[in-house]
Amino acid sequence: MEIKFIENVNKKVKPEASTLGFGKFFTDHMAQITWSQEKGWHNPRIVPFENLSIHPASTVLHYGAEIFEGLKAYRRKDGGVQLFRPMENIKRLNASAERLCLPTINEDLALELLTEFVKVEQAWTPYQEGTSLYLRPFLFGNDETLGVHSVHNAELIIIASPVGSYYKEGINPVKIMIEDEDVRAVRGGTGFAKCGGNYAASTRAGKRAEDKGYAQVLWLDGVERKYIEEVGAMNVMFKINGTIVTPMLSGSILPGITRKSCIEVLKSKGFKVEERLLSIDELKNAMASGALEEAFGCGTAAVVSPIGELCYQGVKYEVGGGKIGEVTQMLYDTLTGIQWGKVEDTFGWTYKI
């Protein structure tokens, strides 16, 4: 399919790297492709970035028919630009779409639209250490009726935002509150799908934790509130007596690409990794006995985020002496090294633009 290109003649002034933050600035263009039941996916295009005009009855505004992805374009040491495992994001987009009865898209077509878009906007990929061009594909139902049924019209759009370094002041461990009231997802629900609705349901606990001085919440399972699920919008890993333990993908947990990459790096380096149920009681015992050596979240935005304190039912536990652990640091160095093209990519994960 030929991708139409309408150039933005009013190019923006690119922001200073020090002012970037996360998701505040957007590039000159956006990529878009439309789906209808009659025509399937059609009219792929890269057009000037602009506000959308949608019908007030549009499905997405009423019934939350929306999914998204998040990945980054990285500026290589040699000046080129590359993506990290983009096909994994496209596969997950389709898995999320399937769950919400949104249309899935041919993987190669989606990758072509994504890479053409990054080619057009590559000058927006910043050069400073730790910065990147964040890519946000999102797909939503867009029927112009209030009837509740599977959608007949949808839009897939990709926008891009230059983002600053997550760790401007060095990698400092964060304090995490274990949430024992609200739940993020249940098995059979949409926990494994990257959908906006999961975020809407998570906001209240996140705000409560923030008000008490915690960075994020650690979610427990939605049935028994007994098993560890994930932390904020990141997957979570623990080093207990030398073994890396991470909750298994049970259906209510988001299958993170960073999680998957961490597991592959750890196994390649000879670490024992267990994907299994991990109960809050087991974690409490490990914290009390000192068997818990490291804890960290992992996701595209931060890569890894060490946890320095966990609070459960008012009791505070210090983790890893409040410092970043050896394995956490190793994963950070390995993954960022590959992403920014500073170390050889022996896994074949990078995709040059």
Ligand X SMILES: *Cc1c(COP(=O)(O)O)cnc(C)c1O
Q: Which residues bind ligand X (CB under 6 A)?
A: 70, 194, 230, 233-235, 254, 256-259, 299-300
User: Residue for token digits 């997802």?
Assistant: 185
> Residue 272 has what DSSP assignment?
-
Asked if 190 contacts 99 with a C-beta cutoff of 8 angstroms, the reply is: yes
Measured from the CB atom, the residue of 58 and 216 that comes closer to ligand X is: 216
**Residue in 204, 203, 208, 259 with CA at minimum distance from that of residue 230:** 259
> Shortest Cβ distance from residue 69 to ligand X (Å)?
8
Question: CA 97, CA 194: separation in Å to the nearest integer?
Answer: 9
Measured from the CB atom, the residue of 125 and 190 that comes closer to ligand X is: 190
> Shortest Cβ distance from residue 346 to ligand X (Å)?
20
> Shortest Cβ distance from residue 80 to ligand X (Å)?
23
Q: At what angle do helices 86-99 and 107-121 cross, to 10 degrees?
A: 130
> Shortest Cβ distance from residue 165 to ligand X (Å)?
17
| Beta strand ranges found along the chain (DSSP E) | 4-5, 29-36, 40-48, 66-68, 71-75, 81-84, 132-141, 153-163, 174-178, 216-220, 228-231, 235-240, 243-247, 273-276, 292-299, 303-312, 315-318, 350-352
How, if at all, do strands 350-352 and 81-84 pair? antiparallel
Measured from the CB atom, the residue of 298 and 311 that comes closer to ligand X is: 298
> Shortest Cβ distance from residue 254 to ligand X (Å)?
4
Measured from the CB atom, the residue of 258 and 305 that comes closer to ligand X is: 258
Question: CA 208, CA 321: separation in Å to the nearest integer?
Answer: 25
Beta carbons within 10 angstroms of residue 341's beta carbon: 19
> Shortest Cβ distance from residue 257 to ligand X (Å)?
3
> Shortest Cβ distance from residue 300 to ligand X (Å)?
3
Cα–Cα distances (Å) from 148 to 26, 174, 183, in that order, read 33, 42, 26
**Residue in 279, 313, 320 with CA at minimum distance from that of residue 174:** 320
> Shortest Cβ distance from residue 34 to ligand X (Å)?
25
Measured from the CB atom, the residue of 120 and 205 that comes closer to ligand X is: 205
Measured from the CB atom, the residue of 164 and 256 that comes closer to ligand X is: 256
Measured from the CB atom, the residue of 113 and 257 that comes closer to ligand X is: 257
Measured from the CB atom, the residue of 154 and 234 that comes closer to ligand X is: 234
DSSP string of 207-269, one letter each residue? HHHHHTT-SEEEEE-TTTS-BEEEETTBEEEEEETTEEEEE---SSS---HHHHHHHHHHHHT
Measured from the CB atom, the residue of 258 and 328 that comes closer to ligand X is: 258
> Shortest Cβ distance from residue 302 to ligand X (Å)?
9
Beta carbons within 10 angstroms of residue 210's beta carbon: 13
